[in-house]
Amino acid sequence: MKKSKTGSSARFPFWNDQIRRFESDYAKLPKVVRDEMNSAMELMERITEKSTEVTMICRGFVKMKNPLYQEVVHDSVFHGICFAWAGRCLAYARPSSLEYVQGLQARADLHYHVGNWDECMLDAREALDQMKRYKLTDWLGTAKRLGELLAKAEAKAIEHRPEPHPSMNNYEPLDVESQKPPNDGCLFDGVEPAYNEEWGRHLVAKRDIKVGEMIFVEDMDCCILAEEKIHTNCSHCAAQAWCGVACDQCVYALYCSVECKDAAWSDYHEIECQIFEEVNRRKDRMECQAALRLLIKFIKMEGLEKVIRTTNNYDRNAELHRKYFLDKKSGFVSTYIWYYSLLDRAGNDEDAEMLREARIVDEHADAEESSDNYDEADEAVLSVVLGSLKPDDVNEGSYDDCMCTVRKIFKRLQRIFRVNSHWFGLLPPRNSPIPYAAEVKCFAFSYYSSLINHDCFNNSALAIGKGGKLMAYAVAPIKKNEQVTISYSHMLYFNLDATTRRLNLAQERKFICYCRGCVNEWVPRPPWTPTKTLKSNIFQTALLDHVSSNKNWYLTKQQIISNKIIVEFVNKQIYESSPASAFCDTGYYRRFINLAYHMMYGVEWKVPEQCHFN
């Protein structure tokens, strides 16, 4: 249960965004296609600014009539690859230009090809609007072709669509905003923050919490996309950006909407945009980018002088603050300090010493604690941040002091993101409960999600919701005064023995797991036969009844209730005598609950396989 937050780590196996291209999705493409795409990607690595040449090459990979695609199987994976090239095309296109319009046209054609009529109309209308708004010269008849495409998409959009299956009860995805608690704005009434020296800051149940109950709905403070998702997902909220807009200045940011683009620019991207190229080349890109975004947001929110003063005051009394819970009476009313203090807990020093004895290096913690924390790569990006946000009256001597403190804050924020962020991926498509390739692949971070401590046998789960929200909900019964927990480890590690689980967490997250399962060395066993049978029935009902009737996969309301009842029942019957067995036996049902909540509140992912060549 304990998440002894002591720092960052060497890169996770599933953190590694420096993956080889074409290892998975691209592997099924013919070699000639892979070679051409690889050459284009190598060109993009050399050209890191808006480029007509790159835009034209990328646009060629979006067009379905490309001669290279004659022997390609048109499935959801291939269509997803083409949408990624559409994103790159727009990212490299010069704003307010005919090449940007042609990029929108190519993506609109692709949307029509796969049957996304609404998205096709959005891109076609935006392209026509830009031609009119910027008075672009049309030598190639682009406006005429866009008009014809728009007319075809409008005709398709009004065609009759099959009604939902009666058992769906008009089941529609819900707005996550409607699930926000009325009072606090984040936490629901069943939980509250707590603190003690052993566990640090954490969330605890104020009453018994049932399976499926919401714990919090919170705005993401930061989300960082894996490298291969930069041109397919929103840089600000991680949603699908296949109808989005690109940054006008850099080639690394794509957004799902103008609203997200404006919010990102206001919060951090105005400065980030200037150094994105440098950050994107770093081996520690994810934690560096996250720390920069958080640093910029905090300085914009509270001012550089206040952030530095608060940091120095806090560090002078670090031992005292490790033993007492920060509240409004403590004198620290800064929002920033709540984040800065996330890793502090009594007992950190002992755990850190154990990690050192095991020769597990925490490079960010060592750099943060060093009096000489100068790093040339950090200096290159932090000087831009400080130059943009420092007051005009800061002299040279004060600037050096400011930079020293900013470097320390930057290292601390890197550690905080590495320890407290959560991995999201393996999202289900609309026609199957099986997760597939079009996953979000990002790490997301927020304050209340950071308060949830780790347990290998967790009782809650997280999901990314629409509008840049992070949601937490119970996947097991949580008793009054019990901690809310989540697993910070990769799912593949669950079936390993306790020693291996603890070692993986120490290497990846730089904390030592003291959950009951690791302390008592629980080893999960195969589920009961009866629950296997129940699982099979629920699975087949969802898969056969719904997919065959309305081409969409959803659990009905009754099926969701049934899953919750099974989890409650199994935990009630065997949790006290065998918690590991209860966790293992309810695994199928918790998974279905996760998928159902994603369907109701999660971001949209659709990569159709159907093709419309006319």
Structure tokens, 141: 């008849």
More confident residue, 183 or 254: 254
Same domain for 243 and 203, yes or no, is: no
In tens, the pLDDT along 569-584 reads 888 888 877 788 888 7
Is 161 inside a domain boundary?
no
Contacts of 466 (CB under 8 A, 6+ apart): 175, 176, 239, 601, 602, 603, 604
Contacts 24+ apart (CB under 8 A), 526-533: 526/584, 527/584, 527/585, 527/587, 527/588, 528/585, 531/566, 531/570, 531/585, 531/586, 531/588, 531/589, 532/588
Q: Is the dihedral of CA 383, 384, 389, 391 positive or negative?
A: positive
**Nearest 5°: phi and psi at 90?**
-70, -35
Mean pLDDT of 118-142: 94
Is 263 inside a domain boundary?
yes
Interatomic CA distance for residues 589 and 586, integer angstroms: 5
Domain encompassing residue 248: 1-97+235-424
Angle (CA) 394 311 402, round 5°: 25
Is 188 inside a domain boundary?
yes
Q: Write down the pLDDT at residue 311.
A: 92
Q: Residue 264 pLDDT more than 90?
A: yes
How many structural domains comprise the chain?
Answer: 2
DSSP, residue by residue, 495-518:
TS-HHHHHHHHHHHHS--B--HHH
Q: Write down the pLDDT at residue 608.
A: 58
Q: Write down the pLDDT at residue 480.
A: 96
The neighbour count for residue 136, using CB atoms within 10 Å, is 18
492: left (phi over 0), alpha (psi -120 to 50) or beta: alpha
Same domain for 63 and 90, yes or no, is: yes
More confident residue, 201 or 272: 272
More confident residue, 162 or 423: 423
Q: Residue 364 pLDDT more than 60?
A: no
More confident residue, 354 or 29: 29
Q: Residue 286 pLDDT more than 70?
A: yes
Mean pLDDT of 516-539: 60
Q: Residue 105 pLDDT more than 90?
A: yes
Same domain for 373 and 406, yes or no, is: yes
123-127, 297-301, 481-485, 488-492: least confidently modelled range: 488-492
Q: How confident is the model at residue 495 (pLDDT cuts 50, 70, 90)?
A: low
Name the DSSP class of 483.
Answer: B
Is 130 inside a domain boundary?
no
Interatomic CA distance for residues 216 and 148, integer angstroms: 47
More confident residue, 467 or 4: 467
Residue 65's Cβ-count burial label (10 Å; 0-12, 13-18, 19+) is exposed
Same domain for 404 and 450, yes or no, is: no
Name the DSSP class of 268.
Answer: I
Q: Write down the pLDDT at residue 549.
A: 45
In tens, the pLDDT along 193-208 reads 888 777 888 899 999 9
Q: Write down the pLDDT at residue 510.
A: 75
Domain final residue, candidates 424, 454, 477: 424
Q: Residue 599 pLDDT more than 60?
A: yes
Q: Write down the pLDDT at residue 395.
A: 65
Interatomic CA distance for residues 100 and 127, integer angstroms: 8
Is 92 inside a domain boundary?
yes
Q: Residue 5 pLDDT more than 50?
A: no
Is 436 inside a domain boundary?
no
Q: Residue 116 pLDDT more than 50?
A: yes
More confident residue, 603 or 198: 198
Mean pLDDT of 288-313: 94
Same domain for 211 and 68, yes or no, is: no
In tens, the pLDDT along 390-402 reads 877 666 668 888 9
For residue 465, give the 3-state DSSP assignment: strand
Same domain for 485 and 558, yes or no, is: yes
Same domain for 181 and 59, yes or no, is: no
Same domain for 202 and 332, yes or no, is: no
Q: Residue 344 pLDDT more than 90?
A: no
Same domain for 378 and 418, yes or no, is: yes
Pairing status of strand 485-486 against strand 453-454 = parallel
Find the DSSP H helices in 343-395. 348-357, 363-369, 376-389
Q: Write down the pLDDT at residue 197.
A: 75
Q: Residue 98 pLDDT more than 90?
A: yes
Q: pTM for the full model?
A: 0.85
Q: Write down the pLDDT at residue 7.
A: 35
Interatomic CA distance for residues 227 and 244, integer angstroms: 18
CATH number of 212's domain = 2.170.270.10
Same domain for 592 and 544, yes or no, is: yes
The neighbour count for residue 244, using CB atoms within 10 Å, is 26
Q: How confident is the model at residue 523 (pLDDT cuts 50, 70, 90)?
A: low
Is 167 inside a domain boundary?
no
More confident residue, 229 or 328: 229
Name the average pLDDT for the chain: 80
Domain final residue, candidates 424, 455, 471: 424
Mean pLDDT of 421-427: 78
Q: Residue 16 pLDDT more than 80?
A: no
Same domain for 184 and 322, yes or no, is: no
Angle (CA) 199 205 207, round 5°: 150
Same domain for 350 and 455, yes or no, is: no
Mean pLDDT of 398-412: 90
Cα dihedral: 236, 238, 239, 243 (round 10): 60
Interatomic CA distance for residues 191 and 194, integer angstroms: 9
Name the DSSP class of 17.
Answer: -
38-52, 214-228, 560-574: least confidently modelled range: 560-574
Is 315 inside a domain boundary?
yes
Q: How confident is the model at residue 13 (pLDDT cuts 50, 70, 90)?
A: very low
Q: How confident is the model at residue 4 (pLDDT cuts 50, 70, 90)?
A: very low
